[in-house]
Chain A
Amino acid sequence: MIRGDFLSLNESKKKKRASKVDKVIKKLSDTLDGGRLSTQRADLLSYSHDYWPIYLHWMLEDRYPSVPDAVVWPESIEDVRDIVRWCYRGKVPIYPYGGGSGVLGGAVPEKGGIVVDLKRMRSLKLHKKDLLVEAESGLNGYYLEDYLNERGYTMGNIPQSLYPSTVGGWVGTKALGQFSTKYGGIEDMLKGIEVVVPPGKLIELKPHPRTATGPDLRKFFVGSEGTMGIITKGWFKIWPEPEKRIKLSYASNSLKDAVESIRRIMRRGAEPAVIRIYDEIETKRHFYEYDDIYGKVATVMIIEGDETLADAESKIVREEFVGKEKGEKPVDHWLETRFSIKEASEFVPMGVVFDTIEVAVGWSGAAKLYENVVGALKPIKGVLFASAHASHFYPQGICFYFTFAGTPPRKKDAEGFYQQAWEEAMKAVINSGGTVSHHHGVGRQRRRWMSEELEEGYELLKKIKQKVDKRGIMNPGDMGL
């Protein structure tokens, strides 16, 4: 097994580094007793990846090109501080790890070093009067939401990865859930944060309803993907569980009809918690049991909250939507199947290469961006299909969630085909005036578009990174930092 290898390290560098890493591992194994540090092969291989789809192909080929030197499981802030302190001294890379459900290689230990799995830090506390929940970063997403629901509250963050992901991962990637149009993304929910930054300092930004104490440092860590520090805790906004839930669905003749309807609805101030518009292909894929929807453009919607408000919102929706109303059944079907993830398991081992690409664009560019991205993906040799649904909405614009799948043509391997599809899709997004990521983040897959998207802003980000993490130990390589 190649220790700590991933494309970039040469043999001599590796050897030099190995002795330093060994020293840090020795130090940490004294602190982290009770099996909370491992250098066992099964553990190292298990933490060599997250859910970056191309990695699934490598795993099936028995390739693990990014094996860490050790994995640790801290249980307290002191443990985390010790880890950062020792790694800083030894200049050993650290990779924070939540549920490993990130899809862009954000938690891949590219340069060897130590993976820090936060899942044993999972305490939580409910502050009912302040409508806040205080949660350690390793807490499982479902655990948190289920706990709140039982007590009559919701945080409203329901990503499709609710079951495998963690609270720290949500903040780390700037995640958002299926109910985001009402409840917002994790950045809207986060009110306070606790982070350990190099060389081992604890930064506590306590929760306030609002604060005007300089630039918002809490937000600075949202979407930082472990490159600035290890998030140990967050305080999040919660809501009383909704009094009323209204389920609506429509079949429209065109994507444009449905998208324009939502634009008008949002302009009037209605905010249905869930809105999903499926293009024709995805309508066929998800609603094949509904003859009267098959081949059309399906929209499912959930409006929830205070009864008076919910009724008013549904009135606006009914007044504005262009399409045939199809009742609650398609929404129930969506609710029942929304966590059923089977395709990767069935098709990847057969050599099918797939990914999802989520991007955002203002209303004025929405139709063009959709056409351009699907139009860029479809002609690529080997692509079996390219499709999209619109999954998150704002008064200013829309998030399109594209899916492509294909089998590499002769003379091209899975990776070559995969990267070609990404190149074409990203080019189309940039040319259509969109942003290259809406919620999955950057990781290792998207880093090469950071400069193009942020321009001088990226240079500033790099400077900040150098100041915060002088020795470059925090998730090195992620986002190109």
Chain B
Amino acid sequence: MPDKMDWLKDEMSGVSKLTQFSTVMKFLKGKVSGPSDVVKCAMCPNMCRHACPISIVDGKETTSPAGKSRVGMMLENEVLRFNEENVFPLQMCLSCGCCENWCPFDFSVSDILRPQREESIKQGVDFKQFDEMFKALEMHGSVHGKVGKEKNYPEEGEVLYLRGCEFRENDQRVIDKTMQLFEKLDESAFVLPGEECCGIPAYNAGNTALFEELAKKMAKKINMSSAKKVVTSCPSCAYAYERLYPEFSQGLDVEVLHMVEYLEEKKRLLNLEKKGGSVTFHEPCKLVNGLGKKKSMRDVLENSGLSLKIPRRSGEKTFCCGYGGTTVSRLNEELSSSINEERLKELKGLSKNIVTACPSCKEAFQDNHGDVKVYDIAELFNRLL
């Protein structure tokens, strides 16, 4: 079989050798590397725009996927200076990875623009909202600052349930229901005394140093615990533990599972009888794109015995709830809320009962609209079992 670029080599063989000719030939022969990822993306006609929740709802070129890379390129080339105004568009990214599913280069814009976001922190670009969050993380190990009173749970066992900042601050009821579910599944679950944030909010905002600091602390605590397995309700936490910690040499000694992955393992136990009632579901982008679980949540829910209403945008077409990725909701709450409305409109058209598997998504849907009932997937199964 001929090589992909043989046709061009053939055509070029008859051409006189001009200025850039040899560079192109070397590139075709794989002897020089091509342009950087940011430049490649900047030169793309936005072939993933339709999948990007920011782009669909914000509607601005500047915050579209290729648009962000163009701003990144302008910052790199000093056409734009690093300041709040110019870095702002780069922060309008939910880290949802929806672009990656459609990108011919498999880029996720949130990843390829990390160097620019890191540089902006290095250059002292100060978003007050980030400063507050960084302080809360440094001082209290939680994005929300000092954690309030919490219920007591076992502090030793086999399955370590990491509750995450969001549920600990805003929805301790779900923690309770999740612990009940573990019990029903005969699991010796426990929580980590002194649990802190996984660090991903700092990572998303470009503060890699703070992320590393938090990662080091949490990795140590988890590795010193009695855990044989870690389960978390938050797909971003799971992503951090599973993917980012090893990248920063803080790998965990135990297996980490997001709740959906855990329930997938227990699928046989969850095979429930058909009953009345219907639900729709929202697959968190970090689960689908970050952890690559394109169909898991749907598969697990298909065992619930409930009638499932499948949204138009599901699986790898899922749409962010608007509150992913730390930065958008902090710098542009209005935009987060509009994205949330767009998604909720779609889900509400199917059912008033929405199941999700991410504390931020749950929070966003129920906070913005009182007329729907939003369940975390563990909470739902606890109720059904």
Contact = CB atoms under 8 A, between A and B. Distances in A.
Asked whether A and B interact, the reply is yes
Interface of A: 34, 40-43, 45-47, 51, 56, 59-60, 62, 64, 73, 97, 99-101, 117, 119-120, 122, 138, 140-143, 146-147, 150, 161-164, 281, 284-285, 288-289, 291, 294, 339-342, 344-352, 381-385, 407-410
Contact of A285 (B1, B7, B80): B7
Contact of B59 (A41, A73, A346, A382): A73
Contacts of A408: 18-20
A408 B18 CA distance: 7
Interface residues of B, number: 56
Given A42-B62, A46-B62, A62-B77, A384 B44 contact: no
B70 A350 contact: no
Contact of B49 (A164, A341, A347): A164
A351 B23 contact: yes
A288 B8 CA distance: 11
B312 A342 contact: no
Nearest to B85: A40
B277 interface: no
A350 B50 contact: no
A99 B47 contact: no
B345 to A, nearest CB: 11
Nearest to A138: B59
B15 interface: yes
Given A288-B6, A352-B20, A385-B12, A163 B102 contact: yes
Contacts of A385: 8, 11-12
Nearest to B313: A146
A42 B92 CA distance: 13
B48 interface: yes
Interface stretch (B32-40, B144-152, B195-203): B32-40
A407 B50 contact: no
A385 B312 CA distance: 43
Given A40-B85, A46-B67, A340-B104, A51 B45 contact: yes
B79 interface: yes
A349 B19 contact: no
A294 B88 CA distance: 49
Contacts of A163: 46-51, 102
A161 B45 CA distance: 8
B41 interface: yes
A288 B7 contact: yes
B45 A42 contact: no
B328 to A, nearest CB: 14
Contacts of A347: 24
Given A42-B74, A407-B21, A164 B47 contact: yes
A436 to B, nearest CB: 22
B14 to A, nearest CB: 9
B62 to A, nearest CB: 4
Nearest to B87: A42
A144 to B, nearest CB: 10
A341 B47 contact: yes
B16 to A, nearest CB: 7
A97 B67 CA distance: 14
Contact of B61 (A47, A62, A161): A47
B12 A384 contact: yes
Contacts of B16: 381
The 5 closest A-B pairs by CB, nearest first: A119-B59, A284-B7, A142-B50, A349-B35, A407-B20
A34 B334 contact: yes
A468 to B, nearest CB: 27
B45 A341 contact: yes
Nearest to B37: A345
11 contacts: A34-B334, A42-B74, A60-B39, A62-B79, A73-B59, A100-B46, A120-B59, A141-B50, A161-B45, A344-B45, A351-B20
A122 B43 contact: no
B349 to A, nearest CB: 11
B42 interface: yes
Contacts of A34: 334
Nearest to B75: A42
A47 B312 CA distance: 31
B46 A349 contact: no
B74 A45 contact: yes
Max count, chain A CB within 10 A of own CB: residue among B12, B34, B59: B59
